[in-house]
Amino acid sequence: MDDRKRTKILAVGLALVILVFLLRSKADNWLRGPIRTLQTELAAAEESAATLKAEELQLEVAKRNLEDWKVISLPPDVDDAQRLYREWIQTLAEECGFSRIDVVPASRSTQKEYSTVSVEVRRAETDLQGLTKFLYLFDQSEMLHRISSINIDSPSPKGNPRLTVTFTAEGMSTAGAKDRRELLARTSLTATVKDADTEIVAAPSDQFPIAENPEEFEPFLVRIGRELLQVEAVTDTCWQVARGAEGTLAATHDANSVIELFPVAWDRKEKSQDQYAAFVKSSLFVIPSPPKTYTPRIAGVSDKTIKPGEEVKFTAKADGLDPDLGAAHFSLSDAAEGMAIDAASGEFLWKPIADLAPSEYTASVLMTQEKNTDVKVDAKLKITIKPPSTTPRITLTASAIVVLGKEFTTTAAASDDDVADTLMFSLGSGSPEGLTVDPATGQLKWTPPKTFTPGKYDVEVHVTDSGEGPKSATAKITLDVQDDFAELTLLSGIVGKDGVSYAWFRNKATDKVNPLKEGEKLSVSEISAEIISITDRYVTMKDAEGLWKLKLGDGLRQRQMIEPAEKSADPDVPESPLAPTSGVR
């Protein structure tokens, strides 16, 4: 075979090989292309499903967290949340030894799902131990809150100086949280507890974490006054407690003292205040203290109020003097007869005669320094001789009717021979929940809910004067809490008998009828009125408020005022309260 023919054969073979390769590639794409597409779509679908499952899991976790947050959230009402959170911050700061505390409301933010409230503590004074204790208890508490900013000023980088602390605490309330009047669960002591007692008796409450199975019981913290107690066991008769928990001091607590839950977050129960010891021991403040400046002043001199013949004795002290420039010397000027002061010790003494007229007696306490002629300081002194304080007098109606669901008011009147004294009113222990008294005016106000238990409740109202050694007086009032029978009593009929007309008043609750004629008195709930006239369509009745008209078929609370009673010309003469009487029941 010649070369030409061989070349042609090779060329044809090569062409066939190329053709087979091209056809195979196209066949592969045609047959396997849809399969590859389906595999790609399947992988994408599986990845999307995994993403959706992860998002669904995250959503479930978020829902569970939201339900948990609702339990430890502040109340949903922003005003209540800020007020209760502010009170809690102030109580905690006082418990930790803060002084000169000024706690004020700060910013608020309301969102669809949650709200935040802030309170600011301005320039409170404490030391490292007090600040450490506050931050520890703040962090321990199971609340949705944080300290968003804090500023600490220290006069020295050494030792344990007094600190000036300003911070902002921010709390959160979630939508759907339980509306409540108190921030934390509360109950009260039923008996006095002494500082050495390890058992307390608390009024029953289902708000405390008390397990029915003793094996499932977990100790919890409560607060009584400024003391924290750890409840270690609960029996049918009492709580076993460890006194003075978290560095607080055990104290005596009276019966009816409030017991407040101090909830601790689950992930902080194993922490202790000792773990914060490094914070106290470390030197947090490294800015060198400024050069010492001396500002001389007299300490220990203050105005006094005494009884006739009472001795006045105190010691004036030098403060702010440079000790290298000698001792201080004291003297008096423009002093009343008999006043004297020791030049070296600063001890002041005055023994006024017993019949010295009550008045204001003044003097100036002067201070100089032995080696510093520039020091000339004085402090004004005023001693007021005042007769012994007299006991105030209080008057209050002996009893009154209170209707469930209706606002009740009455006012206690008080007087004092010491016209300069201010009188303050307060309620005695055991007063019904919700009853208040205005400390300045003595007005009692109460709207008992319709769920309140009717009955008679004895209430004590105290008045205390502002004199030296304040004195108090007490009055009692019996509040007869009743259902609103006036709402259920109607004028059901007018009947004549032997020429006399009777108005029939029927109580729909008891179905009892009380027939009354002209001149007789109708007494239902707080309404006490005399029947003036009876017609075939209505009756007229008169009480302390005026003349009323009640139509046949109408309820007693639907009566209409015809003529108001004349008001007393003397504004100081109160209207006579209506004494509780029996009537339609």
- Looking at residue 208, its pLDDT comes to 83
Q: Which residues fall within 8 angstroms of residue 173, CB to CB, at 6 or more apart?
A: 73, 74, 75, 76, 78, 81, 114, 115, 116, 117, 144
CA distance 509 to 511: 6
How many CB atoms are located within 10 Å of the residue 234 CB? 19
Contact call for residues 385 and 402 (beta carbons, < 8 A): no
Q: Packing angle between helix 128-140 and helix 78-95, nearest 10 degrees?
A: 140
Instruction: Give CATH for domain 393-482.
Output: 2.60.40.60
Per-residue confidence (pLDDT) for residue 95, from 0 to 100: 85
Return the biggest CA–CA distance within the chain: 162
- 78-174 CATH, one of 2.60.40.420, 3.40.50.720, 3.30.70.60, 2.60.40.10: 3.30.70.60
Q: What does the block give as tokens for 302?
A: 């203050």
Q: What pLDDT, on the 0 to 100 scale, is given for residue 576? A: 42
> With 0-12 CB in 10 A as exposed, 13-18 as middle and 19+ as buried, what is 499?
exposed
Beta carbons within 8 Å of 523's beta carbon, 6+ residues apart: 581, 582, 583, 584
pTM for this predicted structure: 0.40
Q: Which CATH number fits domain 297-385: 2.60.40.10, 1.10.10.10, 3.30.70.270, 3.40.1440.10?
A: 2.60.40.10
Residue type, 535: T
pLDDT for 572 equals 46
**Where do you find CATH 2.30.30 in the chain?**
485-564
Give residue-wise pLDDT tens across range 537-585: 999 999 989 999 999 989 998 999 999 988 765 544 444 443 333 334 3
- Cα separation, 541 vs 517, in Å, equals 11
CB 250 within 8 A of CB 196: yes
Which residues of 155-214 form beta strands (DSSP E)?
Answer: 163-174, 186-188, 199-200
Q: What is the pLDDT of residues 98-129, one digit of tens each?
A: 988 888 888 888 887 788 889 999 999 988 88
With CA atoms as reference, report the closest residue to 100 among 110, 115, 90, 87.
90
Phi and psi at 447, nearest 5°, equal -125, 90
Q: Was domain 485-564 assigned CATH 1.10.10? A: no
Domain with CATH 2.60.40.60 in the chain: 393-482
pLDDT given at position 21: 60
Terminal alpha carbon distance of the chain = 139
Other C-beta atoms lying within 10 Å of the C-beta of residue 537: 10
**pLDDT for res 297:** 92
Extract the residue ranges of the chain whose pLDDT is less than 50: 286, 571-585
Q: What is the pLDDT of residue 120?
A: 93
Please work out, in degrees rounded to the nearest 5, the angle formed at the alpha carbon of residue 527 by the alpha carbons of 526 and 530: 145
Q: Are 134 and 98 in contact (CB under 8 A)?
A: yes
| Positions of CATH 3.30.70.60 in the chain | 78-174
Nearest alpha carbon to residue 396 among 474, 458, 304, 501: 474
Q: 255-277, pLDDT tens digit by residue? A: 999 998 888 887 777 777 777 66
Q: Would you say 105 and 119 are in contact if contact means Cβ atoms under 8 Å apart? A: yes
Between the alpha carbon of residue 366 and those of residues 8, 193, 323, 340, the distances in Å are 136, 50, 18, 12
The DSSP 8-state label assigned to residue 74 in this structure reads P
> Residue 577's closest CA among 413, 449, 406?
413
Which residues make Cβ contacts (< 8 Å) with residue 203, sequence separation at least 6?
187, 188, 189, 190
What pLDDT does residue 66 have?
57
Please, what sign has the CA dihedral across residues 415, 421, 423, 429?
A: negative
Best CA proximity match to 252, nearest among 188, 193, 190: 193
